[in-house]
Chain A
Amino acid sequence: MNSLERVLAALQNRSSDRPALLLNAGLYGARLTGAALKDHYRDPEVFAEGQIAVREAFQPDLLVSPFALAGLGAAFGSRLSESSRRPPNVAAFAADSAEAALRLPLPDVDSHPQVGYLRDSIRILAKRYAGEVPVIGLLASPLDLPPLIIGLEAWFDALLFQPETARALLDHLTPFFVALGRAMLHDGATALALTANLANRSILPAPVVERLGRPSLEQALAEIPGPVILHHGGCPLLPHLADFKGLPNTVGYVVDAGEDLAAARAALGPGPLLLGNLPGPTLGDLSPEDIGALCDRALSRRAADLQFILATCGADIPLDTPADRLEAIADRVHRAGRVEA
């Protein structure tokens, strides 16, 4: 069984030889290739080489496009800060308010270099691993785009104090999100994975989530002609799964590190993929034995769950994570058996 078959089996709630594995190791590829991050996050060939190296080293069953959401802000005119240790961040925003952002033109997904970098990364990986390994296109939901364009503070101001302007900005940005999502699928992404932090009740008050967050997410996802995986994005997801359950085209949920997988499955019910719950950003602080124990616990508790995928959560696995930590994960999942349905 190859990785694509394994992941498709999970999607279709069928038995497979073992659970699939997702590593959020877009950044980590640069460690394996030795590429400078300024090249890794600009040149799709260099990024793809990193994912190929990750695949060869740890055999994850899904590969990812760059988890470099700040680049989407840059496509609107935000200025990036580059680093030798982490993906780019937004250092200065394209506009200072939601009102000002309404006047920004939408980047052309077919010609903008920042978007082209993301898309080309997918194209290269999809071509190389066609029929063998799924490639996940990473992007931000329309709700999570404004923090990259105007900053979180200005976006809070709009969402909380100027809801009509916030609504207008979401209407303005949704076509870009839809065009990019469709383009990524066209380029060969098997599925999209996106964050929706600004629809999470740990970030926004419940009335705003209900009035604006969930409806705008629903509207945007309905226009994506392919499978979507919702990523917790650094927020707790388990207590809020009811808000996200049943969204259009949404086939899976990545919960936060340590969140109770059984409780998450109970909240979701059968049907969607459940991904988690390893702490990607802090793997380096744990011993390989501790990581093995975490994997064993997750795998044994979800042994009968054919739609469980072992995954690292949170942001990218940091560059200085020793390789034996990832080897420990790979070893455990590759040795894991599967209970037949």
Chain B
Amino acid sequence: MDRNFPQELLETIQKADRAGAQAVIDAWAVGRPFHRVIPELLSPTLETFGRLWASGKDGVSLAEGYVAAKVAEDVLSRVLLDASGDGTPRPSSKGPVLVGNVEDDFHPLGRKMVAAFLRADGWEVHDLGVDVGPAQFVDRAEETGARVIGASAMMFTTAKNVAKLREEIDRRGLGNRVQLAVGGAVFKLRPELVAAFGGDGTAASALEASALFARLARRASEARGEVPA
């Protein structure tokens, strides 16, 4: 009987079993080109996991999300290693994006998980770290050509600094051309703050960040006249 690898991988993530996940991936890779692991195994697994996580059902914990991010990092590292060694095609890039914790915010975990999932899904992620000021965000967006900035804040007090980032984007005339994705515990608890602080969108979980960034990147491209509106 054929093995249900996505289901097996999902179960190892839910057990926080990183080594077990590796074993499932190794078993899947027998007789298959490894570069297909992302679209054929990792992505479907993470999509299912993301739905469970976002629904709030089935008791998905933050740590399980962390394990999923680690598994995604492990897979991506291996894909990139293979690509550098034997000419296997590198995953195509969806373009540059930025992530960082807003000024005065020192809670990096969610941001790192988002970065891992974005990279696994093909984005060129520039991770600016914690306590990133508005000017630093926008300077880097201009340097890299990023169409989306992902700003993370955990607490209400620091989430207010998203508004400063919004002001800086607008002050430089980049409104719409650079879209602002926001995330963090406070936005999950109070989604109305996304608009109140000038965010262009948020995602229900780190795993849904890639879909959000895709929507926002398209919107930015339309504003730049790069694709038809």
Contact = CB atoms under 8 A, between A and B. Distances in A.
A81 interface: yes
A160 B63 CA distance: 8
Interface string B114-155: 000000000000000011000000000000000000000001
A204 B62 CA distance: 6
Interface stretch (A82-90, A125-133, A138-146): A82-90
Contacts of B59: 201, 206
A234 B107 CA distance: 14
A205 B104 contact: no
Contacts of A234: 185
A201 B61 contact: yes
B104 A204 contact: no
Contact of A205 (B14, B18, B155): B14
A76 interface: no
A283 to B, nearest CB: 10
Nearest to B62: A203
Contacts of B61: 201-206
Contacts of A86: 104, 155, 157-158
B193 to A, nearest CB: 9
Contacts of A159: 63
Contacts of B108: 151, 153
A83 to B, nearest CB: 6
Given A201-B61, A203-B61, A204-B63, A81 B18 contact: no
B62 A208 contact: no
B58 to A, nearest CB: 11
Contact of A83 (B15, B104, B190): B104
Nearest to A198: B63
A152 interface: yes
Contacts of B64: 205
Nearest to A87: B157
A208 B158 CA distance: 31
B219 interface: no
Contacts of B67: 160
Contacts of A315: 155-156
Given A91-B106, A91-B131, A318-B157, A205 B16 contact: yes
Interface in A151-166: 151-153, 156, 159-161
Contact of A318 (B15, B107, B131, B156): B156
Interface residues of A, number: 27
A85 B157 contact: yes
Given A81-B131, A91-B106, A202-B62, A207 B15 contact: yes
B177 interface: no
A282 B15 contact: no
Contacts of B130: 91
Contacts of B62: 202-204
B107, B157, B190: residue with the most chain A Cβ atoms closer than 10 Å: B157
B66 interface: yes
Contacts of A201: 59, 61
Interface in A162-212: 201-208
A132 to B, nearest CB: 32
A81 B157 CA distance: 14
A90 B44 CA distance: 37
B27 interface: no
A248 B185 CA distance: 31
Contacts of A161: 16, 18
A44 B142 CA distance: 46
A247 B112 CA distance: 34
A227 interface: no
A81 B112 CA distance: 20
B54 interface: no
Interface string B7-36: 000000011101000000000000000000
Contacts of B112: 153
A291 to B, nearest CB: 16
A89 B63 contact: no
A271 interface: no
B15, B156, B185: residue with the most chain A Cβ atoms closer than 10 Å: B156
A226 interface: no
B109 interface: yes
Nearest to A257: B189
Given A205-B63, A208-B16, A153 B104 contact: no
A83 B103 CA distance: 11
Contact of A160 (B66, B106, B158): B66
A190 to B, nearest CB: 28
Contacts of A281: 155-157
20 contacts: A81-B104, A81-B106, A81-B131, A83-B104, A85-B104, A85-B157, A86-B104, A86-B157, A90-B106, A91-B130, A152-B107, A156-B66, A156-B109, A161-B16, A202-B61, A208-B16, A234-B185, A281-B156, A315-B156, A318-B156
Closest 7 pairs between A and B when the two form their complex, measured CB to CB: A86-B157, A160-B16, A281-B156, A89-B106, A203-B62, A204-B63, A152-B109
Interface of B: 14-16, 18, 59, 61-64, 66-67, 104, 106-109, 112, 130-131, 155-158, 185, 190
Interface of A: 81, 83, 85-86, 89-91, 151-153, 156, 159-161, 201-208, 234, 281-282, 315, 318
